[in-house]
Amino acid sequence: MGLRAALRRAAVARPGVLLVALPGATAVRLAAEAELRRRGWPQVTAPAAANLLVVAGDGADEDGWVEAVWRQVPAPRARVGLPAPSSVAARLDAGAALLTRPPTPPGPYAPDATGAVERPMADRADDRDGLRLDLLHLPLGPALADWPSGLVLHTELQGDVVQRAEVGHVPAPEGTDPYWNEPWLRALRGEAVTRDEAARRRCAAHLDSLGRFLAVSGWPAAAADARRLRDGVLAGGAADPGPFVRRVSRSRTLRWLTAGLGPLPSSRAHELGVTGPALVADGDALDRVHVWLDDVVRSAADFGDPGPLPRTDVLGPRGRLDRAQPPSAALLAALERLLPGAEFAAARLIVASLDPDVDELARASDVARG
């Protein structure tokens, strides 16, 4: 009993938090990440390392993937939901209090930390060299650390090489603007939006993507810096991204790790309907990162501008918002073409370098009138 009580006290003092974001819960996720950083509670990347499962968003777990993750969290454990940004602090306090109760025994076997709801099975198939190797069907997402919220990627692997990739997603709630596109969509509807508001949202969106990419690339310190800058920008602070941008853009290690991955020339991007940074980059994963970095600096120059965002400005963080197809639909189509032939570790980096926003798929884009 003494050991169990000590473990529960340690879990309450600084619980390991696995933060899972439901589609449509970007604002809640951002509030939760900022609060966890303020408290010094570590975010973990796998259920086995967690004490507290925090679910951002208020949607239904129709496919059971949240339950699958929960069954993998060992005792002492607790689980809380965050329906809105305003509920974050109180719900985290409640989760810490729950950890003082007697631990709940873990459930039966569940799938791995990807949160997938089906178990991978191996078949036989010819690989690209004509050899007969096991073909592993491996679904990735939607509850994978540093992974686009709601994205599910059905892959077929031979060895550590992706042979085929098919994109799926968990549906986001209908009727709400995707968080990162909100200023431009409001302007398209004729609402008053300042250039400062749009610049901050664009800058923060790219910093969010950079944080995910840098974490996947194995640079957690830079990822944490990106997220701190993101939160400061969204809070209205006078953040200077210059030192961060210079450090990342000059990193020889990052160049060595990512150069040549996922090449997407502009001609191919245009055919797929890509309209945002991935089109401008006209190159590989590293080129796309550099476009984000450049855009962060350009956006910061507009902080504090009270002028109106014109309705003709229809370019959101991931692409044009005045077309029937949302920008991320084209990014998902690009993923299905870029991943075959990539090694598994490289595939994670390619996904992060495009960083599609599944929330965009739940809503038809507004088209400018007049």
69 and 133 part of one domain: no
| CATH number assigned to the domain comprising residue 30 | 3.40.50.12280
215 and 319 part of one domain: yes
Which pLDDT band, with edges at 50, 70 and 90, does 63 fall under?
A: confident
- Domain of residue 140: give its range: 122-169
157 and 10 part of one domain: no
- 84 falls within a domain: yes
Q: Are 24 and 359 in contact (CB under 8 A)?
A: yes
Taking residues 77-88, what's their average pLDDT?
A: 96
- Cα angle for residues 364, 179, 246 (degrees, 5° grid): 120
Q: Name which residue leads in pLDDT, 26 or 239.
A: 26
Q: How many domains does the chain have?
A: 3
Note the pLDDT of residue 6.
65
156 and 258 part of one domain: no
Residue ending a domain, choose from 114, 141, 169: 169
74 and 127 part of one domain: no
- The C-alpha atoms of residue 212 and residue 72 are separated, in whole angstroms, by 24
Q: Are 275 and 303 in contact (CB under 8 A)?
A: no
310 and 357 part of one domain: yes
Taking residues 353-359, what's their average pLDDT?
A: 97
Q: Which of 73-82, 108-117, 289-298, 348-357 has the lowest mean pLDDT?
A: 108-117
- 113 falls within a domain: no
Q: Name which residue leads in pLDDT, 122 or 54.
A: 54
Per residue in 252-288, pLDDT tens? Answer: 999 999 999 999 999 999 999 999 999 999 999 999 9
Residue 316, helix vs strand vs coil: strand
- The C-alpha atoms of residue 151 and residue 244 are separated, in whole angstroms, by 28
- 338 falls within a domain: yes
From residue 75, alpha-carbon distances to 47, 56, 95, 99 in Å are 11, 21, 14, 9
261 and 229 part of one domain: yes
Q: Is 70 exceeded by the pLDDT of residue 50?
A: yes
Per residue in 93-140, pLDDT tens? Answer: 999 999 987 654 544 433 333 333 337 444 555 555 555 557 899 999
252 and 317 part of one domain: yes
92 and 73 part of one domain: yes
- 369 falls within a domain: no
Q: Output the average pLDDT for the chain.
A: 88
| CATH number assigned to the domain comprising residue 258 | 1.10.645.10
89 and 139 part of one domain: no
